Amino acid sequence: MTPALQRRLPLLTTGAIFAVLFAAATLLYDGFFSARVAVNLFTDNAALGLTAIGMTLVIFAGGIDLSVGAVAGFTSIFVATLIEKHHVHPTVAALAALAVGGTLGAGMGALIHWFRLPAFLITLAGMFLMRGCAFWVSTESIGIAHPLYERLSNCVLELGRFSLPLVALVLIAGLFGGGILAHYTRFGRNLLAIGGSEQSALLMGLPLGATKVGVYMVNSLCATAAGLVGTLYTGSGNPSTGIGLELDAIAVVVIGGTVLTGGRGHMLGTLFGLLIFGTIQSALLFDGRLSPWWSRIVVGLLLLAFILLQRLLLRRLNRR
Amino acid sequence: MRDSPWQRALRSPVLWPLAGIAALLAVNLILKPGFLNLTVLDGHLYGLPIDVLHRGAKTLILALGMTLVIATGGVDLSVGSVVAITGALAATLIGHGVASLPLILAGALGAGALAGLANGLLIARIGVQPIVATLILMVAGRGVAQVLTDGQVLIIKHAGFDFLGNGFVAGLPFTIVCATLLYVVTHIALRRSAAGLFIEAVGDNPEAARFAGLATARIKTLVYVASGLCAAFAGAMESANIGAADAQRAGENLELDAIFAVVVGGTALTGGRFLLLGSFIGALLLQLLVTTMYHLGVPPAVAPVPKALLILLVCLLQSERTRGWFRGLAPAKS
């Protein structure tokens, strides 16, 4: 195996697993192979996908962010309350939510970088904080009835047999944007360098602090976007939106072949990871015999398989 | 020059959590002058302090296992899911007509030990980072619990099992007696033997510990098994206490509470040192904080906010940078 191929092996494996899973589901269930199911893979997992994009970037830099689910939950209820109770225009409400999310992310990044505190602990505190604040705003879900929301949720792009709702379009745009940010900008290369070895990155003169604070901020913005997309998708705001979302997002990123220690991975893998996640859930839905709880177990097992694969690969690469 | 006992007490790591407890008690006493009152009913002790201890028991037990794990420089995120699994397993066993309490407990504790063993082997033998390895079980474990209960909330009716959560020993709730005993026994077992030092050595520098002849991998595996056992016990206790197993909600966010209790108690997340007394006090502080929030009329769902602020404060106080600032402020010693 050439080194180039070996480096791409996790990505190729993820792609192959997706192909096999989708083919198996197509053979097993009538009507699985359709434009509708394919589009729903994106529509139903839009919020998860958006958080996974940000999480990919954070994990590139060797970090982790457990607060994303709570940020999405806070955004959801915050925006709904602003629109319904305080009659704020949705665009203003969305901007306010993004400002809160961005500030929180930058704050967490600053604590992690300048105070050298463990990322998982700080973001855990962020998770508690945002989830608590979400329930502080309102303990009950609030329906959003605003003309703009209705227009946006009816907004569909027709592409031959595919009719893509706005939610799916946002996800696809996000994946493109994330991919460009990760692989074609200086910021993305800095992230991978820091994840590979923070010491070397520092010695190379890369802007460590700005990059780390920046990536946590971008991730929180992604989580906020996920919360916004969630309100579009359900037409309401709910403070318990996104419980467990952070775990799903991390699972999607790892199944996508990104190494959790940082420094290695590809945004394309996250797309495949998301598709695998979505396919498992649609297949369980089509099957109807297995309880939906099995999806968590399958995702856990896939996570285990990928982590073992990563260990094996890293060991071989290090031996060279 | 030897420090006076007063100076030594001032430097004690449990000083701050104890001060926190004192402050919270003061707040509670102002809000509710009868806060510390205890009454005896049917030979059992009742009162708000007893209630705090009783409700804090499961966090206490989880924090015990977590302390050992963190001492080796690791972390166990799966304890919440293990709590859910053991509750579900106990309920399923009882539902299938298993009447013998030892058998039920053996099943629950066995499941916990197995979960811990899986974590430990992944971390110690394969070399996966602790956060990642235990994350797998955190994700999959709740699924396992839900498959066991089929997504239902199972009602538990078993007199012997009920005792675990609601029984009384010598007038005190069994949960309190049990949690305290576990701490005392673990403390004696680890501090009167070399085992405690071994755990700290592994956390301080695994390489050096290995060269010194310690079975690093085995010690690491064992602490995760201990954490799994603690989680299993807490799970059995919680499901017995509420008389039901809820795979969805049982043990939710408990891993965070356990980690917080340990960190607040002065055990550093970097490992290499542990303080069981600190974790004990930390868990009580956390529970007292939650009870205080209830008395202040804060809805339970908002209670995480003060918890988050508390942990941020403690983290900042523990960080090297802030310590440096404080050192800069203090007059230079001659």
pLDDT of residue B272: 81
Share of chain B above pLDDT 70, in %: 95
Q: Which two tokens stand for residue A289?
A: 């015999």
Distance to chain B for A313, nearest Cα, Å: 13
Residues of chain A neighbouring B137 (CB-CB closer than 8 A): 300
Distance to chain A for B318, nearest Cα, Å: 9
Reported as a pLDDT band with limits 50, 70 and 90, residue B39 is confident
A89-121 pLDDT tens trace: 999 999 999 999 999 999 999 999 988 888 888
Contact A250 B140 (CB under 8 A): no
Select the residue of B140, B311, B319 nearest A301 (Cβ to Cβ): B140
Backbone angles phi, psi at B45, to 5 degrees: -85, 130
- CA geometry: angle at B138 spanning B132 and A49, to 5°? 75
Reported as a pLDDT band with limits 50, 70 and 90, residue A53 is very high
Backbone angles phi, psi at A248, to 5 degrees: -60, -40
Distance to chain B for A302, nearest Cα, Å: 9
Tell me if residue B314 falls in helix, strand or coil.
Answer: helix
d(Cα B75, Cα B269) in Å, to the nearest integer? 8
Share of chain B above pLDDT 90, in %: 22
Per-chain mean pLDDT for chain B: 84
Residues of chain B neighbouring A303 (CB-CB closer than 8 A): 135-136, 139-140
User: Higher pLDDT residue, B283 or B41?
Assistant: B283
pLDDT of residue A52: 95
Residues of chain B neighbouring A254 (CB-CB closer than 8 A): 132
Backbone angles phi, psi at B274, to 5 degrees: -140, 160
Select the residue of A136, A292, A296 nearest B305 (Cβ to Cβ): A136
Q: What is the mean pLDDT of residues B12-34?
A: 81
Reported as a pLDDT band with limits 50, 70 and 90, residue B333 is very low
- CA geometry: angle at B218 spanning B214 and B220, to 5°? 95
- Classify strands A236-237 and A142-143 as parallel, antiparallel or unpaired: antiparallel
d(Cα B65, Cα B317) in Å, to the nearest integer? 24
pLDDT of residue B274: 87
In this model, does residue A79 exceed pLDDT 90? yes
In this model, does residue A71 exceed pLDDT 70? yes
- Write the DSSP string, B118-172: HHHHIIIII---HHHHHHHHHHHHHHHHHHHHTTSEEE---HHHHHHHH-EETTE
Reported as a pLDDT band with limits 50, 70 and 90, residue B63 is very high
Contact A121 B309 (CB under 8 A): no
Contact A296 B143 (CB under 8 A): yes
pLDDT of residue B3: 66
Select the residue of B256, B308, B321 nearest A115 (Cβ to Cβ): B321
pLDDT of residue A244: 78
Distance to chain A for B268, nearest Cα, Å: 11
Distance to chain B for A294, nearest Cα, Å: 6
Select the residue of A64, A297, A308 nearest B143 (Cβ to Cβ): A297
- Classify strands B168-169 and B38-41 as parallel, antiparallel or unpaired: unpaired
In this model, does residue A5 exceed pLDDT 80? no
Residue pair A226/A72 in contact by the 8 Å Cβ criterion: yes
User: What single-letter DSSP state applies at residue B246?
Assistant: E
Select the residue of B141, B256, B322 nearest A124 (Cβ to Cβ): B256
Q: Give chain B's radius of gyration (CA, Å).
A: 21
- CA geometry: angle at A196 spanning A194 and A197, to 5°? 65
Chain A with chain B: Cβ pairs closer than 8 A: 123
In this model, does residue A54 exceed pLDDT 90? yes
* Beta-bridge mates of residue B173: B168
pLDDT of residue B334: 42
In this model, does residue B1 exceed pLDDT 70? no
Closest residue in A to B248 (Cα) is A293
Residue pair A109/A215 in contact by the 8 Å Cβ criterion: yes
Distance to chain B for A12, nearest Cα, Å: 22
d(Cα B269, Cα A121) in Å, to the nearest integer? 9
* Beta-bridge mates of residue B155: B244
In the block, tokens 């209820």 appear at A77
Reported as a pLDDT band with limits 50, 70 and 90, residue A319 is low
Mutate to test the interface with B, among A304, A313, A315 (most CBs of B within 10 A): A304
Instruction: Spell out the residues 6+ positions from residue B325 whose beta carbon is closer than 8 angstroms to its own.
Output: none
In this model, does residue B12 exceed pLDDT 90? no
Distance to chain B for A275, nearest Cα, Å: 18
Residue pair A63/A119 in contact by the 8 Å Cβ criterion: yes
Per-chain mean pLDDT for chain A: 87
Tell me if residue B245 falls in helix, strand or coil.
Answer: strand
Contact A303 B136 (CB under 8 A): yes
Q: Which residues of A touch B (CB under 8 A)?
A: 64, 111, 114-118, 120-122, 124-129, 131-133, 135-136, 139, 239, 247-248, 250-251, 254, 260-261, 291-297, 299-301, 303-304, 307-308, 311
Select the residue of A117, A294, A311 nearest B143 (Cβ to Cβ): A294
Reported as a pLDDT band with limits 50, 70 and 90, residue B210 is confident
d(Cα A254, Cα B211) in Å, to the nearest integer? 34
For the ranges A64-73, A127-136, A266-275, B123-132, the lowest mean pLDDT is seen at B123-132
Residues of chain A neighbouring B136 (CB-CB closer than 8 A): 300, 303-304, 307
Burial class (CB in 10 A: 0-12, 13-18, 19+), A158: exposed
Distance to chain A for B225, nearest Cα, Å: 19
User: Higher pLDDT residue, A315 or B53?
Assistant: B53
- Classify strands B44-47 and B38-41 as parallel, antiparallel or unpaired: antiparallel
ipTM of the complex: 0.76
